[in-house]
Amino acid sequence: MESTMRLASVRGSMRGSMRSMSRSASSWRTTSTVFGRSGREEDDEEALKWAVLEKLPTYDRMRKGILTGASGPAQEVDIQDLGILERKNLLEKLVKTAEEDNEKFLLKLRDRMERVGIDNPTIEVRFDHLNIDAEAYVGNRGVPTVLNFFVNKIMGVLSALHIVPSGKRPISILHDISGIVRPCRMTLLLGPPGSGKTTLLLALSGKLDSTLKEVEGVMPIKDGYNPATWMLEVTTQAQEGILGVNFAEIYKNSDLYGRNKALINELSAPPPGSKDLFFPTKYSQSFLTQCKACLWKQHMSYWRNPSYTATRIFFTTIIALIFGTIFWKLGRKVSTQQDLFNSLGSMYAAVLFIGIQNGQTVQPIVDVERTVFYREKAAGMYSALPYAFAQVLIEIPHIFLQTMIYGLIVYSCISFDWTLVKFFWYTFFMFMTFMYFTFYGMMAVAMTPNSDIAAIVSTAFYAIWNIFAGYLIPRPRIPVWWRWYSWACPVAWTLYGLVASQFGDYTTTIETGETVQEFLRRYFGFRHDFLGAIAAAITCFAVLFAFVFAFSIKVFNFQRR
């Protein structure tokens, strides 16, 4: 609102300057002009010359002029081809006294341009990547008490001497704002009822009601003072308390208020024979175009948010190096049960560490984006489904990069079998696991009011998934009445797929006399020929979480107004 008021102030100041120039012009048209004319004194010959100039092209109209002297007829001249003596005399007549003749010259120049049908140039304000930051005390230091006043002053001096830190915290007021302010466009001014919006706009436009200027005790505006600033200063609540008046009530009781209400009622009634606006679709663009726009927006948002994307890649790389070092060459050791348990534990630890990290870090991002979505959806920019589709789709390339970094490091360090099929299955199961963990975090945010509650709910489900994943308690040893949840646990399917794809076809005999394949089937219930169903189940979990996320975004609205 503050930036809007400043723009309105600038625009009002420009209007006021133009009006004052117009009034001054009316008082100077009776004198002899250089590039202008007086409607009463110019003769037919001069009028004919002006008519000829109006027919010329724009470039020639700006170069040609009618030069009138103290005596003699008006002459048509080319301004660029004036002689030295003529230019000297002309400048002396135009700006003989700089303090007094500047405005006269500008008025004559404007009258000259209007005479030949050339509009004054307009100003367009563009601002890109505008950032406004501030520093302020937080907590008890920000309370305006006498003690804090002296403490802050002392700390400010010590901070200026680089003895102690200032204790202030940076606050971002505007971050990466871009826009265009064009002339002759409507400016929206927001504020609560009775805050002085109408009075401000009337003051900027020079149409302030005379009754407001006649309130006794109000300090008159000084010459050259900004009218918007003056109006805000004299209409504060403190000034109303001092004067014992209510400016809003004064305005409501004025004639201007009645005229404005009558004008509003008149303009609110549709003219006879008019029809209501009708659009065949709710949104201006098709579903595919909305998806493209939302996807481009999410791409730019993720590209400009390295604290999320780069941190996730960095964390994944560090975890991959740590696990690869801890479980170095462990994939070749399959001679005992403990060797298999160690390999299974390496897979399980990676699933929990990176999966939960994905689910937790995405939640604040989705929470912030959802707030923006509420505003843009209310403005009719796009519907909920294109937004959800873009939010889901933008995560896929980032997760794929994360999977490839982790898979190449860990797979080579642990020394699993370097076959194309087994590497594909390992990469596929890790990719789908990271994906459904990410989509689950997004779904939790979409179903709850904020990211804090979503984190609490997610943590509870992570604990349940940890119990029924099949590592702490293998599926055959889980009670029958709880075994159904083991089949409904996505982490259990991930562990099933990773172990079965890497060791499910081993025929090496271990210390118990069984083959690795037989041991996995007896102890864990893992079968190598079940990989297709496992892949389908994990894919279904990712699709399910993404669908629930989109459905929750469309149905639930936790916005507080």
Asked if residue 349 and residue 417 are part of one domain, the reply reads yes
Q: What pLDDT is stored for residue 121 in this prediction?
A: 61
CA-CA-CA-CA torsion sign (260, 266, 269, 271):
negative
Q: What pLDDT is stored for residue 542 in this prediction?
A: 95
Asked if residue 59 and residue 24 are part of one domain, the reply reads yes
CA-CA-CA-CA torsion sign (88, 91, 93, 99):
negative
Q: What pLDDT is stored for residue 16 in this prediction?
A: 44
3-state helix, strand, coil in the chain (%, to 5): 65, 5, 30
Q: Which of 72, 96, 115 lies at the terminal end of a domain, its last residue?
A: 115
Mean pLDDT for the chain? Answer: 78
Q: Phi, psi (5° rounding) for residue 75?
A: -120, 140
| 93 part of a folded domain | yes
Q: Which of 181, 208, 224 lies at the terminal end of a domain, its last residue?
A: 181
Asked if residue 302 and residue 428 are part of one domain, the reply reads yes
Asked if residue 154 and residue 198 are part of one domain, the reply reads no
Asked if residue 172 and residue 214 are part of one domain, the reply reads no
Q: What pLDDT is stored for residue 98 in this prediction?
A: 56
Q: Which residues of 495-508 are buried (b: 16+ CB within 10 A; e: fewer)?
A: bbbbbbbbbbbbee
Q: 222 and 214 in contact (C-beta within 8 Å)?
A: no
| 110 part of a folded domain | yes
| 401 part of a folded domain | yes
Over residues 50-70, the mean pLDDT reads 69
Q: Which of 16-20, 74-78, 81-85, 160-164 has the lowest mean pLDDT?
A: 16-20
Asked if residue 224 and residue 168 are part of one domain, the reply reads no
Q: Which of 220-229, 302-311, 400-409, 430-439 has the lowest mean pLDDT?
A: 220-229
426 CB-near residues (< 8 Å, 6+ apart): 407, 411, 416, 498, 501, 502
| 354 part of a folded domain | yes
Gap between the Cα atoms of 429 and 449, Å rounded = 32
Q: What pLDDT is stored for residue 193 in this prediction?
A: 58
- pLDDT tens digits, 355-394: 999 999 999 999 999 988 988 888 888 899 999 999 999 9
Asked if residue 402 and residue 490 are part of one domain, the reply reads yes
Q: Phi, psi (5° rounding) for residue 98?
A: -60, -40
Q: What pLDDT is stored for residue 5 in this prediction?
A: 40
SS3 of 82-142: the string is CCHHHHHHHHHHHCCCHHHHHHHHHHHHHHHHHHCCCCCCCCCEEEEEEEEEEEECCHHHH
Over residues 199-203, the mean pLDDT reads 61
Asked if residue 305 and residue 246 are part of one domain, the reply reads no
Q: Which of 94, 115, 136 lies at the terminal end of a domain, its last residue?
A: 115
Q: What is the DSSP string of 17-32?
A: HHHHHHHHHHHHTTS-
Tell whether the model's pLDDT for residue 558 goes beyond 90: no
Tell whether the model's pLDDT for residue 194 goes beyond 70: no
Asked if residue 369 and residue 292 are part of one domain, the reply reads yes
Q: Which of 180-194, 295-309, 495-509 has the lowest mean pLDDT?
A: 180-194
Asked if residue 357 and residue 487 are part of one domain, the reply reads yes
The domain tally of the chain equals 4
Q: 358 and 441 in contact (C-beta within 8 Å)?
A: yes
Q: What pLDDT is stored for residue 234 in this prediction?
A: 82
Gap between the Cα atoms of 278 and 270, Å rounded = 15
| 477 part of a folded domain | yes
| 140 part of a folded domain | yes
Query: Mutual orientation of helices 531-555 and 384-414 as an angle, nearest 10°?
Result: 150
Query: Per-residue confidence at 279, pLDDT binned at 50, 70, 90?
Result: confident
Q: What pLDDT is stored for residue 402 in this prediction?
A: 94
* Both structure tokens of 23: 């009034």
Total-model pTM: 0.54
| 510 part of a folded domain | yes
Q: What pLDDT is stored for residue 546 in this prediction?
A: 95
The domain of 439 spans 287-555
Asked if residue 92 and residue 29 are part of one domain, the reply reads yes
Give percent of the chain above pLDDT 70: 75
| 282 part of a folded domain | no
Asked if residue 141 and residue 20 are part of one domain, the reply reads no
Q: Which among 498, 485, 526 has a CA at the least distance from the CA of 434? A: 498
Distance from CA of residue 536 to its chain's centroid? Answer: 38
- pLDDT tens digits, 496-554: 999 899 888 888 888 878 888 888 888 888 888 889 999 999 999 999 999 999 999 99
Could you tell me which residue, 81 or 514, shows the higher pLDDT? 514
Gap between the Cα atoms of 170 and 529, Å rounded = 59
Query: Per-residue confidence at 268, pLDDT binned at 50, 70, 90?
Result: confident
